[in-house]
Chains A and B, each alone.
Chain A
Amino acid sequence: MEEPLRRTSKDITQIYQRHVHTVYKVSFMLLKNVVDAEEVTQTVFLKLMQSDVAFRDHEHEKAWLIVTARNHSRNVLKHWWRRMRTSLEETDQKLLTEQLKHDDTLGEVLALPAKYRLPIYLFYYEGYKTKEIAELLAVNEATVRTQLHTGRKLLKLRIGGDSDD
């Protein structure tokens, strides 16, 4: 049975406009796939429609969306059958997938192991502090620092053409 909606379309549209880029990018950083990232983004906002969580402010709202996107992306990665299913790609999605596939510099970022990608994104792009990232990802602050350090190192090594193998 479908859950009743807790927020109006207007509420959702406003929250969507504020955070869609963050939610999509978090999903894409984890899934590395245009179609899946779109699906996760949609699911996150649909969950928000059905959720009765009350947000203190926009930052709290954003944090909730990031965590939900991270959790849902992980679920997608866990389900082998989702990865095997037939992709229903729109024309522009196909084009984007091709463009991203051939973007070598972005490829370097996406080639980072999954555990480094999200902290790097949250730290550099979203401007979160290590303490905040630790809270979002439910890990120790020291772990985040190590992940950022290693991620930075890997990116630098890859740019320099050295292999970390």
Chain B
Amino acid sequence: MTEKELLERLARIGPTNTQTERMLQRIMNPSEAKSKQKRQWRWSYRIALPAMLGALLIGFGLPLLMNGEEEPAIVVLKPIVTPVPMSIDISPRGLHLPQLGEVRKFLNYNGSRYEFLNNGQPYDLSELKLEESEPLGKLEYDITVDMQNGGTNGYASRDFGTTYMTEGILYKLPGYDPAFRLAVARDDRYYIVQLVGHTDDSAIAAKDYVAAARLNKLVERVELLEYTGSQLLHAWSIEKEVREWVKHIAAFESAGKLTNEQYEQLAKARVPGETYKLRVVLKDGTAIDMLLTPRLRLISIGDSQYKLSDDWVTTYSYLFQSNNQ
């Protein structure tokens, strides 16, 4: 190799004009760059992956479901996207954290509380032909109206009570344990709800949650994000690491009913740098968001609080030390 050839090779490394412009734009608008990256990542999951898996579903998933195989197929859950200004967060993944004054969208069924996925946005479940299956019931009790009247009817803890989509029909969601996810149909649109707690406010055992959600089978990767979810700090996508995470989650013990003082501490710790978002990304394109507060050794899954185990602390505490550097 001559010196000239070496120089030619080094020149080929780049950056190209597109890269140069992109990097400058991101340097000048770091927050916008992050959200653009986030959006792009979401789009890839919302369009490319669902489309690809959708084809697989048609080829393999539905026949398996129809044949009543023991292992349920992974159903791709495609949100119906309505055009919105790009500045508005339209994340289809995970549970939505309600803003102040916003009524939480949930329903009660079989002694459990389920929250509407993606803040109640409809999903394209037309291929599942839910109406051909036996409905579980009708959402006939409007919790919001009852609460405005002082909650005298007790709808807040009554089965088929709901704060959203009253009159909707409840169905099993094929491929999921009804203890974890259900479908709601109303006005030719479909919604998905996900377990967050018990109507009597008793804690769900973490191992029961893991079993109902089939995390052993469904998890694609685990991500650690900063509290608001805008910055990805770590990701575990190797099967062994993902399995270890699921094992840790299943082993968390309930923290029981927190005292007022503990609630206050937890509320104060709900800030970036103290609390982190743990996103368990599922193979169906959705995710379960949990809130991790290492200093208080607590993790919130749905409405329940769990204690971070010694094993967990030994394995992962270094992450939070490095994040503070």
Contact = CB atoms under 8 A, between A and B. Distances in A.
B125 to A, nearest CB: 27
Interface in A107-126: 108-109, 120-121, 124-125
Contact of B12 (A29, A34, A103): A103
A61 interface: no
Contact of A84 (B5, B23, B40, B238): B238
Given A38-B19, A106-B12, A85 B27 contact: no
Interface residues of chain A: helix, strand, loop or mixed (majority): helix
Contact of B10 (A42, A81, A100, A109): A109
A109 B27 contact: no
A107 to B, nearest CB: 9
B5 A105 contact: yes
Contacts of B41: 86, 88
Nearest to B234: A81
A96 B221 contact: no
B166 to A, nearest CB: 40
Interface string A29-47: 1000010011001100110
A16 B319 CA distance: 32
Contact of B16 (A9, A81, A96): A96
A12 interface: yes
A92 B16 CA distance: 9
Interface residues of A, number: 40
Interface in B9-35: 9-16, 18-20, 22-24, 26-28, 30, 33
B6 A155 contact: yes
B324 to A, nearest CB: 12
Contacts, number: 101
A38 B24 CA distance: 10
A85 B237 CA distance: 7
B230 to A, nearest CB: 13
B37 A88 contact: yes
Nearest to B24: A16
B84 interface: no
Pick the most buried of B26, B33, B237: most chain A CB atoms within 10 A of its CB. B26
Nearest to A13: B24
Interface string B33-52: 10001001100000000000
Contacts of B9: 103, 105-106, 108-109
Contacts of B37: 88
Contacts of A100: 12-13
Interface stretch (A18-26, A65-73, A129-137, A139-147): A18-26
Q: 4 tightest CB-CB pairs across the interface, nearest first?
A: A85-B235, A24-B15, A159-B1, A125-B10
30 contacts: A9-B28, A20-B20, A20-B24, A21-B15, A21-B20, A24-B19, A38-B15, A38-B23, A41-B23, A42-B23, A45-B27, A46-B27, A46-B30, A81-B234, A81-B236, A84-B236, A84-B241, A85-B232, A85-B234, A86-B232, A86-B235, A90-B40, A92-B19, A100-B12, A103-B9, A105-B9, A120-B6, A155-B1, A155-B6, A159-B1
Given A12-B28, A45-B23, A92-B16, 13 more contacts: A20-B23, A24-B19, A25-B14, A84-B241, A86-B221, A88-B40, A88-B41, A92-B18, A103-B12, A105-B1, A109-B6, A109-B10, A125-B10
Interface of A: 9, 12-13, 16, 20-21, 24-25, 28-29, 34, 37-38, 41-42, 45-46, 49, 81, 84-86, 88, 90, 92-93, 96, 100, 103, 105-106, 108-109, 120-121, 124-125, 155-156, 159
Interface of B: 1, 3, 5-7, 9-16, 18-20, 22-24, 26-28, 30, 33, 37, 40-41, 221, 232, 234-238, 241, 319
